[in-house]
Amino acid sequence: MKPRSLVLGGAGFIGSHLTEALLREGHEVTVFDKIGIKRDNIAHILPDIKFIEGDFLDEHFTGTLPDGMDYVFHLVSTTLPATSNKNPVYDVTSNLAPSVHLIQACAEKKIKKFFFISSGGTVYGVPKDDLISEKHPTEPINSYAITKLSIEKFLGLYKYLHGLDYTVLRVANPYGPRQPYDKPQGVIAVFMSRILNDKPLEIWGDGNQLRDYLYIEDTIEAFLTVLKKETPSDVYNFGSSIGISVNDIINQLKDITGRDFEVIYNDTGNVGVPKNVLDSSRAKEELGWAPKTELKDGLKKTWEWFSDKLGK
């Protein structure tokens, strides 16, 4: 019998790529996503999946779960790092509480494994090390990250109480085709859409802040790796382990796009921590996972997709 997987947030950027990959792996896939959500990302695979439309805040869904699921992939987030501090209570009610309902339902239904995407870019807070390993202290400075960590901890609790197996993927900054470009997250997608619309690129701070970017195919390979390797109920970092500045990205985009665009430096925005680069050696040593796509190749593929989509 085919393995049965449920992908929450499967119509989104990462979720749609994951859904495609699970279908390729021979899974029967059910996607759960928002009522009225655009289905562009999964239009080509809609006949191959079951789609459940609903609201993550609706306990009727998170508390019951479709029957017969083997694997549950939780990729819904109702908030973003950049804006979550404006309303932390909303994070607790709309992210944390529904996630606990979902985890509880998964424990009751005795699914085989729960996979949760956490945030390598935010759960550690202000980095003390050049490369951040899973052992680095977690001192989040936004509500989004506190919520991610709390969900991780609840998974640990349900493992302890009910034997629910899980793996947490603390992913760096994924980028690639289908990334939303209308949100304060995903600088590469935002920049590409602005270039295609002849708008200036706005940079918060001096553009020297370093981040860790992971191409979507490598991100999806991380999911497939933890699925196939039957990882312990634990937490893994997945990143490139290379610090790239916003200015580096701008320079690469000049080469790749061949376009002359205006760059505006803005000191008033929240720049975040100066550096956040993940140490992914545990995933490499224990699971044999390593990113394969170099930034310039990933940017090229992403640019091709955006040029095609935005038709300029």
Ligand X SMILES: NC(=O)c1ccc[n+]([C@@H]2O[C@H](COP(=O)([O-])OP(=O)(O)OC[C@H]3O[C@@H](n4cnc5c(N)ncnc54)[C@H](O)[C@@H]3O)[C@@H](O)[C@H]2O)c1
Site residues (vs ligand X, CB under 6 A): 9, 11-15, 33-34, 37, 55-57, 75-78, 117, 119, 171, 173-174, 180, 185-186
Residue 22's closest CA among 14, 68, 237, 186? 14
Instruction: Please give the sequence-ordered ranges of beta strands (E in DSSP) within the chain, or none if there are none.
Output: 4-8, 28-33, 50-53, 71-74, 113-119, 166-171, 173-175, 201-204, 210-211, 213-215, 234-238, 244-245, 263-266
Residue 248's closest CA among 292, 291, 284, 213? 213
Residue 172 C-alpha from the chain's centroid:
8
Name the residue nearer to ligand X (CB basis): 210 or 254.
210
Helical axes 246-257 vs 187-196, angle rounded to 10°? 40
Q: Cβ 78 to ligand X, closest distance in Å?
A: 5
Q: Cβ 240 to ligand X, closest distance in Å?
A: 13
Q: Cβ 42 to ligand X, closest distance in Å?
A: 9
d(CA 42, CA 60): 25
Q: Cβ 262 to ligand X, closest distance in Å?
A: 25
Residues 6+ apart with CB under 8 A from 12: 33, 41, 75, 180
Concerning whether 160 is annotated as a catalytic residue, the answer is no
Name the residue nearer to ligand X (CB basis): 180 or 254.
180
Give SS3 for 51.
Answer: strand
Q: Cβ 286 to ligand X, closest distance in Å?
A: 21
Name the residue nearer to ligand X (CB basis): 88 or 254.
88
Q: Which of 71, 90, 124, 144 is catalytic?
A: 144
Name the residue nearer to ligand X (CB basis): 37 or 250.
37
Q: Which residue sits closest to ligand X, CB atoms considered?
A: 12
Name the residue nearer to ligand X (CB basis): 186 or 298.
186
Which positions are catalytic? 144
